[in-house]
């Protein structure tokens, strides 16, 4: 993991929610170093998805002292930030093939009067190959499996060549093989100096896939290296039970694919 003078993502004093006087997350402050790979974890309903949407301006009521992407505001950094929403939020009946969806990630870089051409299509093909879908480029997105659809979304972000990747449940409802292959792709990005922040609910695989973690339960309970964050005491505090037995296993019963 490599650091940098300017953080990849910085949030200070953020509170946000869907009703003006009922914040879902409160007083959130954290910094992500460049070249880091961080899991955003916590019980179902803890505000994980709300937090990342709030940072991206997708929640109606947000207050914060500072939200900075790559040292600047989102409008300035937008082309260097890739957001992958939950797969359930995508209309997979849209009449497009996998290659079309990946190419869409390149449209902002084309400019107002340029059309997608051979170079754009080749970048999209390389991105699909990186996630193991070279043979599915012409497949209709609705005909793909859930794991393949998730890989298409990651390929779209890869084609964008972003510096900061924000993913909402990238490993939800996919098979073990797809999870492993996606994790390898994300670690490869990290090794190239890219920064990954991913909402994740499977605590058993956090230690395998991630370097750092932010444990959230409406406020930040703990943050730092995975081993320091995922202790019996902090998990018990976040998930609301006594720290008896292996808290990581007990917390699994309180986690869900949505937050």
What is the pLDDT, as a whole number, of residue 112? Answer: 40
Q: CA of 95: how far to CAs of 131, 142, 152, 171, 193, in Å?
A: 22, 8, 15, 25, 35
pTM, two decimals, is 0.87
118, 119, 121, 124 alpha-carbon torsion, rounded to 10°: 170
Distance CA 160, CA 143 (A): 24
The tokens for 225 are 């290296």
Distance, CA of 215 to CA of 46 (rounded, Å): 9
**Strand boundaries in the chain, DSSP class E:** 9-17, 25-32, 37-41, 61-63, 66-69, 81-84, 164-168, 195-199, 212-217, 219-225
Break the chain into its structural domains and give their ranges.
1-46+59-70+163-173+192-259
Per-residue confidence (pLDDT) for residue 250, from 0 to 100:
54
Let me know the angle formed at the C-alpha of 254 by 253 and 259, rounded to the nearest 5 degrees. 135
The whole-number pLDDT of residue 202 equals 87
Q: What is the pLDDT of residue 201?
A: 86
Q: pLDDT per residue over 75-99, tens digit each?
A: 999 989 999 998 888 888 888 999 9
Tokens of 239: 């998930």
Domain 1-46+59-70+163-173+192-259 belongs in CATH node 3.30.43.10: no
Residues 6+ apart with CB under 8 A from 156: 82, 84, 101, 102, 104, 105, 127
What is the structure's pLDDT at 24?
A: 97
Local confidence pLDDT in tens for the 259 residues of the chain: 444 479 999 999 999 999 999 999 999 999 999 999 999 999 999 999 999 999 999 999 999 999 999 999 999 999 899 999 988 888 888 889 999 999 887 865 544 444 556 788 898 999 999 999 999 999 999 999 988 999 999 999 999 889 999 999 998 888 888 889 899 999 999 999 999 999 998 888 999 999 999 999 999 999 999 999 999 999 999 988 755 555 555 555 555 444 4
DSSP-based three-state secondary structure for 37: strand
């Amino acid at each position: 993991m490599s650091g940098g003078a300017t953080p990849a993502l910085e949030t200070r004093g953020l509170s946000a929610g869907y009703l003006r006087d009922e914040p879902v997350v409160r007083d959130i402050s954290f910094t992500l170093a460049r070249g880091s790979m961080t899991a955003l974890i916590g019980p179902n309903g803890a505000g994980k998805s709300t937090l990342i949407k709030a940072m991206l301006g997708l929640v109606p009521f947000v207050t914060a002292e500072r939200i900075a992407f790559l040292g600047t505001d989102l409008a300035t950094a937008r082309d260097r930030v890739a957001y992958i929403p939950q797969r359930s939020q995508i209309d997979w009946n849209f009449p497009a093939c996998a290659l079309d969806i990946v190419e869409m990630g390149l449209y902002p870089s084309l400019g107002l009067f340029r059309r997608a051409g051979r170079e754009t299509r080749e970048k999209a093909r390389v991105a699909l190959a990186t996630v193991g879908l070279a043979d599915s480029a012409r497949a209709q997105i609705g005909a793909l499996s859930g794991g393949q659809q998730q890989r298409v979304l990651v390929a779209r972000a890869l084609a964008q060549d972003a510096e900061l990747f924000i993913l909402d449940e990238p490993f939800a409802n996919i098979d073990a093989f797809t999870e492993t292959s996606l994790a390898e792709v994300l670690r490869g990005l990290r090794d190239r100096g890219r920064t990954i922040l991913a909402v994740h609910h499977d605590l058993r695989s956090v230690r395998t896939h991630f370097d750092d973690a932010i444990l959230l339960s409406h406020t930040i309970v703990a943050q730092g290296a995975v081993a320091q964050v995922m202790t019996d005491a902090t998990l018990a505090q976040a998930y609301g039970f006594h720290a008896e037995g292996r808290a990581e296993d007990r917390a699994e019963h309180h986690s869900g694919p949505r937050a």
